[in-house]
Amino acid sequence: MNDVAATARNVAAGRLDRLQARGRALLGTRHAIMGGAMTWVSERNLVAAISNAGGFGVLACGSMKPEMLAAEIAATRKLTDKPFGVNLIVMHPQLSELAQVCLDGKVSHVVLAGGMPPGEIIKKLKDGGAKVIAFAPALVIGKKLVRSGVDGLVIEGMEAGGHIGAVSTAVLAQEILPAIREVPVFVAGGIGRGEAILSFLEMGAAGVQLGTRFVCARECVAHPEFKKAFIRASARDAVPSVQLDPRFPVIPVRALANKATAAFNAAQRDIAAKVDRGELDMKAAQLEIEHYWAGALRRAAVDGDVENGSLMAGQSVGMVTREQTTAEIVDELVGQALDALVAREGEAAGAA
């Protein structure tokens, strides 16, 4: 690289740092790139690797019991001295106990997902010294979360893997980024390249969150067959689940189409019948759905049963083409954003 190219690259790096300054400051990281919390996948090894690579790893608590989460936090801390967070599902029946585990473990950031977080949990975490980040599926909810005292927001579009909303990432970004400036906002859903990261930063995002892109990291403990399915897949293979009964609230889940897709439809019918018979209330039924997905995901991600297990993946899966180290993935994403900035400045200079 000659002196002119090196100078252009340094200028671009400074520009990129400024664009993600708020996100980096909140997370305490080199890059404002959060790892999406993926049950059975975002465990100690991948989380530590993302943080060690300059991003922000997030442990997926999922349906863990408090003692299991405490052990995972301690194990992660042995692998990294960098900041990392814990994702808690707000419908978990032991949410308060899990929040206390995070505080006892000196977790710096807690990400609350899966619904509107109770105000007392936000207060408990903040009073205990943790930063709180929550998901905002709509502008009105984002504003309410800001009033409740959260330190940051994640807006995740329907292109994401796992549980999804009904609005695309691009639309959510246009709706929310110009309207909420009080706290840093991270954009998620379908992001697989650095150019996309740059575009959202320039729209006003403080950073981004990626999950699918990290599944085929070498440090990720997901089963080799699970990773092969990702590498073979295209964007069109990642499809949302279907809600069969309009009375029964099922949050869509995006995954690679396989036999488990049909099995989920049968599970819905069974759980809906239990609700009709009075054997389950809606909250308990929703929790049973969560347990279904956790079990199905485990069959694929841990056991390698990619036909009967759930292959939760975002539409960015088409950009997952090989296994790489986590550091290589982060460096590639940052490099793509820098290349885009350098090219733009070169075009501007040529035009002038």
141 within a domain of the structure (yes/no): yes
CA distance 73 to 119: 24
**Residues 84, 99: one domain?**
yes
Using CB atoms within 10 Å of the CB of residue 178, give its burial: 0 to 12 exposed, 13 to 18 middle, 19+ buried.
exposed
**Residues 203, 233: one domain?**
no
**Residues 203, 258: one domain?**
no
**Residues 183, 244: one domain?**
no
Closest CA to 45 of 350, 325, 343: 325
CA distance 187 to 200: 7
Q: What is the mean pLDDT of residues 24-40?
A: 97
**Residues 111, 259: one domain?**
no
273 within a domain of the structure (yes/no): yes
**Residues 85, 180: one domain?**
yes
**Residues 59, 45: one domain?**
yes
Q: What is the mean pLDDT of residues 78-103?
A: 97
182 within a domain of the structure (yes/no): yes
CA distance 157 to 215: 19
Say how many domains are in the chain: 2
Query: In which element (H, E) is residue 238 found?
Result: strand 238-240
Which pLDDT does position 2 carry in this prediction?
Answer: 77
Which pLDDT does position 241 carry in this prediction?
Answer: 85
Q: What is the mean pLDDT of residues 30-56?
A: 97
135 within a domain of the structure (yes/no): yes
Evaluate if residue 43 carries a pLDDT over 90.
Answer: yes
Read off the pLDDT of residues 172-189 as tens digits, 9 standing for 90 and up: 999 999 999 999 999 999
347 within a domain of the structure (yes/no): no
**Residues 80, 63: one domain?**
yes
Evaluate if residue 352 carries a pLDDT over 60.
Answer: no
**Residues 197, 51: one domain?**
yes
**Residues 229, 86: one domain?**
no
265 within a domain of the structure (yes/no): yes
Closest CA to 29 of 38, 14, 17: 17
The CA-based dihedral angle spanning residues 62, 58, 130, 184, taken in that order and rounded to the nearest 10 degrees: -120
Read off the pLDDT of residues 194-209 as tens digits, 9 standing for 90 and up: 999 999 999 999 999 9
Among 15-29, 315-329, 338-352, the least confident range = 338-352
**Residues 184, 139: one domain?**
yes
**Residues 293, 335: one domain?**
no
CA distance 243 to 241: 7
* CATH code of residue 123: 3.20.20.70
Alpha carbon distances (Å) from 115 to 170, 172, 257, 349: 21, 17, 26, 48
346 within a domain of the structure (yes/no): no
349 within a domain of the structure (yes/no): no
249: pLDDT confidence band, cut at 50, 70 and 90? low
pTM: 0.92
Evaluate if residue 133 carries a pLDDT over 80.
Answer: yes
Domain residues for the domain of 99 are: 3-221+320-341
Q: Tell me the residue type at 275.
A: V
Q: What is the largest CA-CA distance in the chain?
A: 74
